[in-house]
Structure 1
Amino acid sequence: MVQITLTEVYLIAMILIFAVPFLIWRLLRTEYYAPLVVVQIICGILLGPGIMGAFFPDYYAFVFRPEVIGALNGVAWWAVMIFVWVAGIELDLSEAWQKRRETGVTAGLALIVPLIFGSVAASILLQTGSGWAGEKGQYWQVIVGIGMACAVTALPILILFMEKLEILRQPLGQRILRYASLDDVVIWGVLAVILLDWERMGRQGAFLIGFAVAAYLIRRLMPKIAESDRWYVGLIWLAVCGLAADWAGLHYMVGAFLSGVVLDAKYFDQKRMDYFRATVLLAIMPVFFLSTGLRTNWDVGGVIVFGAAALLLVASVAGKLAGIHLAGRLLKWEKGEASMIGWLLQTKALIMIIFANILLDKDIITNQTFTALLLMAVGSTMLTIPMVTPKLKALKMMVSRSS
């Protein structure tokens, strides 16, 4: 009998990761309500222990053996670090500062209101019994963590959606980017607070001081070297920041985001950056989606997990829409404007999944909570295009109007 090698098993897993979502996406023509990135996330769940592992346990154990999962996780870690690094680079807060009242009011309400709604939903879940809070998660960390997960806007996916809707380069698209960009910075700041470890305060303080000095030096260095060299230096900088943040107990993803934020987008050619982001999404991010699916868990019962996901979805969407509608009233927006912007900003997907992964890694939430949040993110993202498209057609004049 021919003995199959670990490499061959790994490549079988890679075939599943890339072939299954692509075939579903193409054959079922899901683009309108479920873009490829959403299908990849769903397939990660389907290929995980809760679905394929339950129906085909022998095959699941054969393909996704610990050695294969370890190799896939290594690719996934680097993929998501690069993705968050690029998101940090592309944040441009200069225009947000120029229009700080309008941006601050909208972004603030778009974050605070769904955070409150999500925190209430989290408290309801915790009242139902055990299974939602991780062993190392304090009550306030679980509440704020789940609440913030409900408030997150997935900036990279939002950009892809607005490109699809052909509004990204329009004044409306740029307004929405301002709101989402400011919230992105706050979200990662709140995450850093959640992850504060009093036993590691010395390390975390040293990291922040060292990062400030290193960021100053990297910003001095970047303009002085060739554009082609900036990519290599940038990736080295990414790995160093990720390592330092993880050593300090803040998680390597916090370091990855910070390493991108301090770099200006003007250091890199915009077209090349767009191609790079698209290549990362195409070539290595599907591995992250699969590894995310492998972490799903239904131990508390599938019905309860789906119920929790539904509760979180309602809190997330209702909170975001309520916050944006309140901002629209304060800023005297046109009728229908707040609804469309609210539906776009409630997009979750990647950033929420990354956020929830960090909470899971730190044992603040459990696998069951992570599964509910993942389902909420998928549902939220699938609602966006169907809800926004008819609203956009009814408000064509508004697209070209800047606030």
Structure 2
Amino acid sequence: MANISHSKDLVIAITMADIAIILLVGSVLGWLVRHVRQPPVVGEIIAGIALGPSLLGLLPGDLPSLIFPSEVRPYLSAIAQVGLLVFMFGIGWEFDKKLLKGRGSTAAAVSVTSVVVPFGLAIGLAALLYQRHNTVDGDQVSFTAFALFMGAAMSITAFPVLARMLTEHGMLGTRTGALALASAAIDDVIAWCLLALVAAIVTASDGAGDLAQTVIFSALYITAMLVVVRPFLSFLMRRWGRDRMAPQLIVVLVAGLFLSSYATTWIGIHAIFGAFAFGFIMPSEYRGVFGEEARKPFAGISMVLLPVFFIVTGLNVDIGALSGRDLIELAAIIAVACAGKMIGASMVGRMSGMPWREAGTLGILMNTRGLTELIILNAGVSLGVLDSRMFTMMVVMALFTTALTGPFLPKPPVRVGQTALLPRQEELAGAIP
């Protein structure tokens, strides 16, 4: 290890070995947590934290640095970004736009209140925490950026994680499950818009002029995606992939999602937005044979590379470094995160005629944050909005709120051969009031 900086081949070899460790540990813990009614993402998050300073770092010999040397971490970060961008593309493609319209006033009301209430509570909490977390790497963070980011992070509901949990627990056909999924879809759109606003504010170093430029370029980017890119993709799919997927089409899609990510990075609103947007504008009329065939390679890439993202995240989480005051702040963050979603969603559910138990279940479902929260938190770190202690506390909050959901859901039914990435619209028909 002492000569690692002098051997690029050794760095690459250790990177490969680290990926093997990550996949094995993540797979084992993902399998274990399923026995306590948790989604695999909880086990993978725990694996990331366990392999970092929070657990492995407590043993003699500085094992995190030994297993994941500093020279290796940039390689792991790059690999993690590839997995993350492919995942975001998949989420954008799987995202059924029909969930955002024609689903009734109740879904809209739940969506709005489950964003507004936690957002408002988070702004108040940010005012209390700002003085202790207003400097990141020697740079001052504006209260506006810090407060808006906290609001966006508290408002998120992990649509993909929630969809998988509802599918596994047989709740998609219920009013509560379908309502939660539709509301989570709208929640995430609002939260992503808020995060894009934070990114624009943070990267606008020259104030209003840069912010206006970012907004203008963002509008041009969205216009180009809808007016130019989407019709072009429709043309390619008609030509190359109506019934079967041509290999060159996969090449175009992969190149397109990375170019879209580059474009949003250049604009100043983070690469994840470009990947999600490229998936979101994919023509929905090709969801049949082509859609299923095309999703497989992307799902495979995400399955292999996303655990690397969890480990890279976990290496930056150090629970042992939190002080007594930090633990009090952590308790406040968890309380605000849970109360905001529970009150915001349950209140509307109860007003719509749901029994208290059903309305409470709706609030618990909307409190699921999972991987989506980690994506937002990592964006906060890269934007320079979160310091290391706040990042650690927010990651713990994401893990806690996601793990809280499983025990309150019915026992999963036994299913054979279920391979769908996300539920289809027909599974929701008639279930949302």
TM-score, with normalisation over the residues of structure 1? 0.88
Structure 1 gap ranges (5+): 393-398
Match of 1:328 among 333, 344, 349: 349
TM-superposition CA deviations, 1:172-195 (whole Å, max 9, x none): 543322111111111111111112
Distance across 2 between alignment mates of 1:179 and 1:62: 44
Q: Which amino acid aligns with 2:258?
A: A
Distance 2:108 2:135 in 1: 32
1:96–1:103 contact (8 Å) kept in structure 2: no
1:249 to 268, 271, 275: 268
Kept in 1, the 8 Å contact 2:176–2:358? The answer is: no
Give the paired residue count.
Answer: 395
1:331 Cα deviation after fit: 2.3
How do 1:134-213 residues align onto structure 2 when only pairs under 5 Å count? Answer: 134=136, 135-168=139-172, 172-196=176-200, 197=204, 198=207, 200=210, 201-213=212-224
- In structure 2, C-alpha distance between the alignment counterparts of 1:3 and 1:147, rounded to whole Å: 45
Match of 1:316 among 331, 337, 345: 337
- Counterpart position of 1:125: 129
Does 1:13 pair with 2:18? yes
Question: Aligned residue for 1:34?
Answer: 38
Match of 2:226 in 1: 215
Query: 1:34 aligns to what SS in structure 2?
Result: coil
Q: Verify the 8 A CA contact 2:33 2:43 in the aligned structure 1.
A: no
TM-score between the two structures when normalised by the length of structure 2? 0.82
Q: Distance in 2 between matches of 1:315 and 1:262?
A: 34
Is this contact kept in 2: 1:136–1:363, CA < 8 A?
A: no
Q: Flag the 1:9–1:320 CA change in 2: closer, same or farther, 3 A.
A: same
Identify the residue that residue 261 of structure 1 maps to in structure 2. Answer: 280
Alpha-carbon distance, 1:86 to partner: 1.4
Q: 1:332/1:121 Cα in 2 relative to 1: closer, same or farther (>3 Å)?
A: same
The residue type equivalent to 2:142 in the other structure is Q
Note the residue ranges of structure 2 that are not aligned, 5 or more in a row.
5-9, 414-428
| 1:304/1:231 CA distance change after superposition, 3 Å | farther
Residue type at the aligned position of 2:261: G
1:371 maps to which residue? 392
How far 1:270 sits from its partner (Å)?
A: 4.7
Report Cα offsets for 1:186-236 as digits up to 9, x if no partner.
111111111222453425523431441243212212222222254433322
| Cα 1:233–1:381 shift into 2, 3 Å | same
Moved more, 33-42 or 75-84: 33-42
In the alignment, is the contact (CA less than 8 A) between 2:90 and 2:299 conserved in 1?
Answer: no
Structure 1 stretch 195-204 or stretch 370-379: which is displaced more? 195-204
**In 2 relative to 1, CA 402–34 (structure 1 residues): closer, same or farther, beyond 3 Å?**
closer
Contact 1:107–1:182 (CA under 8 A) maintained in structure 2: yes
- Contact 2:29–2:47 under 8 Å retained in 1: no
Q: Tell me the SS of whatever aligns to 2:71.
A: helix
Measure the CA separation in 2 of the matches of 1:301 and 1:167: 38
Task: Give the match for residue 359 of structure 1.
Answer: 380
**Does the C-alpha gap of structure 1 residues 23 and 333 become closer, same or farther in structure 2, counting only changes over 3 Å?**
closer
Indicate whether 1:238 and 2:257 are aligned: yes
Structure 1 residue runs of 4 or more that deviate by more than 6 Å after TM superposition? 1-4
Q: Distance in 2 between matches of 1:25 and 1:97?
A: 35
User: Which amino acid in structure 2 is aligned with residue 180 of structure 1?
Assistant: A
